Structure 1
C-alpha cells in the first residue's frame, strides 16, 4: 500500500492546502453537508449532540457516549488517505481512530474470530469482503447520512453495506528505469511479459482485495472468468520465469528502484507520484492496461463499510460513517487520488489517466457473484500460482 502520510505534500501545495484542517463537519443537528463553522472552531463536549443517519435510521447521538478511541477495521495510515480523515474527525469530534493496519482479508478473519466479543465497531474494506461479513451474520443495518447518493448496485437494500469509494487496477512503473532499459510505456498486459519488465515486476498477494482484483484483471484480459482461472495462472507462469513475484507494502521498493513495475490500483500509483516526497513525479507514471487485443483488463473495485453487530461504541461509529460519506469526507479521498463514491458531485483531479483509458479497459463484476466465489478463487490462486510470496 502506498504511503500517504498527513504531512504537507506536493498535491496539497498545488491545491492550496485543500485538505487543511479546520473545515467543520456535517452534524450537530444540521442539514446534509452543512458545516458548523458558525458554532466555533470544532471540538466537542459531553453535552454535544449530533443528528446522524438517513431516513428511518435518523437518530441523535450524544458525545457523552463517545469513546476516546474508535476502532474501525482497515482505517489506517498509509492507505486511501485515511490519515487526513482520521485527523479531521478527531479534530472536530474529539474521537481518535485506532490505526488498524491490515488487509480486507485479515480484517474479515479477525472479525470472524471475535464475533462473540467484537472489539471493533465497524468493518471497512473491499466491498465483497463487506458482503462476506454480512453473510456471516457479523454486521447490522445502518444507513448513513447521504446513503441515497450511493448507486443502488453499490449498497445493500437492507442497509448493511454501503460503498464509500472505488479504485481501478493499474500499473505503476518507473519511467526513468524504462528509459534506461529502452522500454516503451506499457499498454497491454502482454507488454509486462518482456523480460526486462518481468525481472522486477510485483503483484500484491491474492488474499488482499487489491491482489484479487489484479489477478482477476489479468484473467479477464485473457478470456478467463470467475469459474476459469487458467489464463491468469498461465500468465503467472510466463512472468515467473523472469523474476516476477508477490509483495506487500512496496512503496519503498519502488522509490528505491528495487522494483520498476507494480500492479496495484490507480490510487496507489497516483498518490505515490504526486504525494510522496521520496521520488520525483517525473520518475513515475500510471497506466490502465487492456488485454493483448484490446480486451477489458482493469477491474473497478468498490470499497465500503458496515456497522458490526453487537459492537462497542455504535454511536461514534455512526457519526464516523456519516462523516466519511459527507462531501467533506469524500474530498479527502480525491486528495490522494482515490475516487470517492460521490465523485460526480466533486471535481476530479486532472492528474488521473485520461478517461478514454478507463473506458477502453475498465470492467466491474457483480459483487454478489464475486462474494459467493471469492474464497475459493483466492485459495485456488494461492495454491496454483508459481509466483513467490502469495501467502
Structure 2
C-alpha cells in the first residue's frame, strides 16, 4: 500500500465518470479520497448512465467505472484485473473471479411515500387503491432505477416476470394512479438509498417522506466497480478501489444510505457504523438479484410492450 500510495501521488490525479455528488454520498467520498491522499479528482460526465460511461471511455479516458452489473459483465474485456486487499469480503455472486469487476454497494427496491397523503403500502398492489399517485424515476426502457421498479412490482417469491410488472403499471394508468412526474406524486418507486435520501433532505417547506419495503422478498441490485484497461492514472485507479473497499470507504457509502458490499464482514469485525446502519430503511425481506439472462429478457419485453400498455 505504501508503494501504491506513493506512485498514485506522483500521478497526481484520478478521472472518475458518472458519479453525481448527491448519489450514495459520492461527494463526500470524492472529497475524502482527495484530502487523504492529495490527489485531484476530475469528475467527468456526472449524469451519464452505465452504458454512456462505456461509450465515452475512449474519448474521455476515465480511470475507473461505476456500473450496473449487466453493463459490467458485457464489457469486462475493457477492464484491468485487480483484487483489493478486502477481496475475500465481497460476496462471490457479485464479483468477477478474475478481478475485472466487483460490487461496491447496493440497495433494495422500495416505495417512498408521503404519509400525510397516503397510508404506508403493504404491497405493490396497494398502489392501485384510491388516493395513490405513483411515479417512477424515469422511463423504465432507459432508466435503470425505473426498470427495476417495474421488476420489483412483478416479484412473486423469488421470481421476477416482466409481464406482471408491466400489467400492474398498466392498471395504475387506467385507474388514474400513475403520475408523470415525481413532483406531483405521493409515491415514488425507487432504490431505498434514493428514497431514504429524499427523506433525509426534508426541510420545513417540503412534505414529509417515508420509505416502505413490502413483502417477504425484495428486489436487490449492486453497482460494481472496475478499472479501465487504458487508465491514464493506473496507480490512482487502484488506490481509489482500495479506498472504496476499505472500512472507511464502505461506511461512507452507508452514510449515503447504500448497503456496502462488505456489510456482513464489517458487522462481524465490529467496524460497521451502527448509527448509520440504523438509518437504513428497515426490512426483514430476503433479497433477490436478477440474473443477466432475466435482465436481458425483461428489457426486451419492456421495449416491445411498455409504450402500448403504459405509454
**Normalising by structure 1, what TM-score?**
0.69
* Secondary structure in 1 matching 2:131: helix
Alignment of 1:305-344 (within 5 A): 305-344=225-264
* Alpha carbons 2:11, 2:233 under 8 Å: kept: yes
What is the alpha-carbon distance in structure 1 between the residues aligned to residue 297 and residue 52 of structure 2? Answer: 15
User: TM-score, length-normalised on structure 2?
Assistant: 0.85
- CA shift digits 1:219-243 (9 cap, x unpaired): 2239964xx5221121121011215
Q: Indicate the residue corresponding to 2:151 in structure 1.
A: 216
Q: What is residue 17 of structure 1 aligned with on the other side? A: none
2:269 — aligned with what? none
- In structure 2, the partner of 1:259 is 185
Q: Give the distance between the partners of 1:278 and 1:97, measured in 2 at CA.
A: 31
2:69 & 2:180 partners in 1: Cα distance? 23
Partner of 1:384: 305
User: Which runs of no fewer than 5 residues in structure 1 stay unpaired?
Assistant: 1-26, 30-48, 52-59, 179-183
Indicate the SS of the match to 1:159.
coil
2:195 to 269, 279, 283: 269
The alpha carbon displacement at 1:213 in A equals: 1.9
Deviation of the 1:200 alpha carbon: 4.3
CA contact 1:222–1:231 (8 Å) conserved in 2: no
Give the number of the structure whose alpha-carbon radius of gyration is greater.
Answer: 1
Residues 8, 239 of structure 2: 8 Å contact kept:
no
- Asked if the contact 1:127–1:305 (Cα under 8 Å) also holds between the matched residues in 2, the reply is no
RMSD: 2.6
Matches of 2:137 and 2:32, distance apart in 1:
32
Are residues 1:278 and 2:203 paired?
yes
**1:283–1:109: structure 2 CA closer, same or farther, 3 Å change rule?**
closer
Q: Who is 1:287 aligned against? A: 212
Measured at CA, do residues 332 and 113 of structure 1 come closer, stay the same or move farther in structure 2, by a change above 3 Å?
closer
Change over 3 Å in CA distance of 1:335–1:113 after alignment to 2? closer
Say if 2:282 is the partner of 1:354: yes
Q: Which residue of 2 aligns with 1:111?
A: 54
Q: 1:63 to 1:351 in 2, by over 3 A?
A: closer
Q: Which contiguous aligned blocks of 4+ residues in structure 1 show a shift greater than 4 angstroms?
A: 279-282
Deviation at 1:79, TM superposition (A): 0.5
Q: Is the 8 A contact 2:179 2:185 kept in 1?
A: no
Matched, 1:129 2:129: no
State the 1:280 CA deviation: 8.0
Deviations along 1:217-272, one digit per CA (max 9) or x if unpaired, are 122239964xx52211211210112151565xx5xx2xxxx221000011111122
Matched, 1:89 2:33: yes
Q: Is the 8 A contact 2:44 2:60 kept in 1?
A: no
Look up the SS of the partner of 2:4 in the other structure. strand
| 2:236 aligned counterpart, secondary structure | helix
Counterpart-to-counterpart distance in 1, 2:135 and 2:203: 20
The within-5 A match list for 1:1-391 is 27=1, 29=2, 49-50=3-4, 61-67=7-13, 70-94=14-38, 95-98=40-43, 100-103=45-48, 106-112=49-55, 114-115=57-58, 117=59, 119-134=61-76, 137-178=77-118, 184-197=119-132, 199-206=133-140, 207-221=142-156, 225=160, 228-241=161-174, 242-245=176-179, 250=182, 253=183, 258-274=184-200, 276-278=201-203, 283-290=208-215, 296=217, 298-344=218-264, 345=266, 346-348=272-274, 349-356=277-284, 358-359=285-286, 362-366=287-291, 370=292, 372=293, 374-385=295-306, 386-388=309-311
Going from structure 1 to structure 2, the CA distance change for 1:174 and 1:62 (only over 3 Å counts) comes to closer
Conserved in 1, the CA contact under 8 Å of 2:4 and 2:235? no
CA contact (8 A) 2:18 2:45 kept: yes
SS of 1:72's equivalent in the other structure is strand
Deviations 1:151-183, CA, capped at 9 Å, x for gaps:
1112111110111111000000011122xxxxx
1:139 Cα deviation from its structure 2 partner: 1.6
Name the CA distance, whole Å, in 1 between partners of 2:180 and 2:82. Answer: 37
